[in-house]
Structure 1
Amino acid sequence: MTNHPSIQAEEWSARCQLAALYRLIAFYRMTDLIDTHISFRVPSEPEHFLINRYGVPFDRMKASDLVKIDHDGKIVEDYDQGKRVNVAGFVIHGAIHQARADINCVIHTHTADGIAVSAQQEGLLPLSQHAMKFYQRLGYHEYEGIALSMEERERLVADLSQHRCMILRNHGLLSTGESIPRAFHEIYFLERACQAQIKAMVSSKLHLPSSEVCERTARQFDRDGVEQIIEDAWQAALTLIENQKEDYCS
């Protein structure tokens, strides 16, 4: 049920799904106080997006806390007036959503391991199966300061290219997807890959698989049937917070 009569059922369902994603990001400890964002394109409204009400902790996010905004981060619905959003934080998201019609969900994180890998000269190394998923399939964007400049948008889009994920140098991680389950799947694997790399770096001798094996593994992650695996994983993750559903869907 909705808390506002103006919100259509399709949008409310999207709000519930996005609120659940915020809580799962908190469950897996990928939050940074009230900073970072997850955005989702409103179904049937490609020019509008849902994003968090600024100041609400991710583990307490509700469907009614999400705010509908446009490409510039401006609130577009009367029922969202009075809510506060971090417009500056949407610069990255807005650029990608506007340039890539195939991307409906964008996740940006500032985890310690993600930032650590973003600060390493060689970036993500193929040290684990998780990391090999992104072999030659990962964008890199140079740090330009806090993302406040609209001029940075073109460079962000160009650096992401046709990849699903990107490392923002000296900043953090970013994943995208045509759906919420896909974007969650991508950030989960990218974060795990970074965690494994930071742990492995304590050794002075690292073992790297051959480029042939890395490429084969990356292709295996995109084999037929992977979409069902991603959906199954999403549904499994939702069971971790199923006792919160009544709350996050309010």
Structure 2
Amino acid sequence: MATLARDTETMAPGEWEARVDLAAAYRLVALYGWDDLIFTHLSSRVPGPEHHFLINPYNMMFEEITASSLVKIDTEGKPVVPTPYPVNPAGFVIHSAIHMAREDAAAVMHLHTPDGQAVSAMEFGLLPHTQTSMIAGGDVAYHDYEGIATDLEERERLVRDLGAKNAMILRNHGTLTVGDSVASCFLRLYFLERACQAQVKMLSAGRENLNTPPQGTPEKVAVQSAPAGMGMLAKALAWPALLRKLDRIDPGYRE
């Protein structure tokens, strides 16, 4: 497998730090069992005025990805600098739409987990029956399935459906989150995936047997878990703890 030298002198200010965070996110997705072989993508904007982004090499498992192996691409998904790794421009269609439409979209993460796909196929979507689903659900949008996301025209509709929300259930497809940092994006992804996992389990009891929270409670929890507060929680507490966890068990992401 090809490796790249850590050449921070040719990188934009803050790029190496962005690479380390995104590589950590890939390793964490693999650690939690959310990966889908080499498919799906997590992307991050490179700091600076250029519209450049970091994304995974298309031939690597998520647990193999390192900071230096991430590919820097433009808005069309094409490498900005020579790379020994293949890239998948079609895989960046969803990500590029959101990165370009939202200045606050520093990171975009998209998964195909079994639980996320299961909830995406449920007509009623994410149910507000657990605390985790209420935390995630107040910031979730929905986008109808239009086939494998290679159609550039779909980007306009996807951005419209997302609006100002920071999470999305792609109907019959999977989950997606947006963040002003890798940290906040990953924490939103964690809550959304946990909510989907809980929903699949609780529906085994039958929807008619579920306890519905009192009226107004989901709205209260949505206020209590507003995006600004979630972002602070992610950056100051959750993300540093997750990096410490990775450094104990899987520090190779920093290479």
Scaled to the shorter chain, the TM-score interval is over 0.9
Match of 1:178 among 177, 180, 184: 180
Q: Which residue of 2 aligns with 1:155?
A: 157
Aligned residues between the structures: 248
Q: What's 2:241 paired with?
A: 236
Q: Counterpart of 1:55? A: 59
Segment drifting more, 85-94 vs 129-138: 129-138
Shift in Å at residue 64 of structure 1? 1.5
More displaced stretch, 1-10 vs 126-135? 1-10
What's the CA shift for 1:136?
4.2
Q: Distance in 1 between matches of 2:125 and 2:185?
A: 21
- Residues 225 and 97 of structure 1: is their aligned pair in 2 closer, same or farther, counting only changes over 3 Å? closer
| 1:34 equivalent in structure 2 | 38
Normalising by the residue count of structure 1, what TM-score does the alignment of the two structures yield?
A: 0.93
1:191–1:246: structure 2 CA closer, same or farther, 3 Å change rule?
closer
Shift of 1:131: 0.5
Task: Report how far residue 46 of structure 1 moved.
Answer: 4.6
5 Å matches for 1:20-99? 20-78=24-82, 80=83, 82-99=84-101
Distance 2:18 2:228 in 1: 27
Return the offset for 1:224.
7.1
Give, in whole Å, the separation in 2 of the partners of 1:137 and 1:222: 8
Distance 1:65 1:50 in 2: 10
**Deviations 1:37-72 (Å, cap 9, x if unpaired)?**
000000114511000011111111111110111111
* Aligned-partner SS, 2:11: coil
Aligned to 2:222: 218
Aligned to 2:146: 144
Quick check: 1:135–1:215 contact (8 Å CA) kept in 2? no
For 2:228 and 2:146, the matched residues in 1 are separated by: 39
Which TM-score applies when normalising by structure 2? Answer: 0.92
Q: Any unmatched runs of 5+ in structure 1? A: none
Cα deviation, residue 202, structure 1: 0.9
Q: 1:54 to 1:206 in 2, by over 3 A?
A: same
Give me the whole-angstrom Cα distance separating, in 1, the residues matched to 2:75 and 2:203: 40
- 1:196 Cα deviation after fit: 0.4
Provide the secondary structure at the position in 2 that maps to 1:197. Answer: helix
Structure 1 stretches of at least 4 aligned residues deviating more than 4 Å after TM superposition? 223-226
Q: Which runs of 5+ in 2 are unaligned?
A: none
Give the C-alpha shift of residue 243 in structure 1: 3.5
Counterpart of 2:112 in structure 1 is: 110
Per-residue deviation at 1:247?
A: 2.0
8 Å Cα contact 2:136-2:188 kept in structure 1: no
1:147 is displaced (CA, Å) by 0.3
Identity among equivalent pairs (%): 47
Shift in alpha-carbon separation, 1:184–1:46, aligned structure 2, 3 A: farther
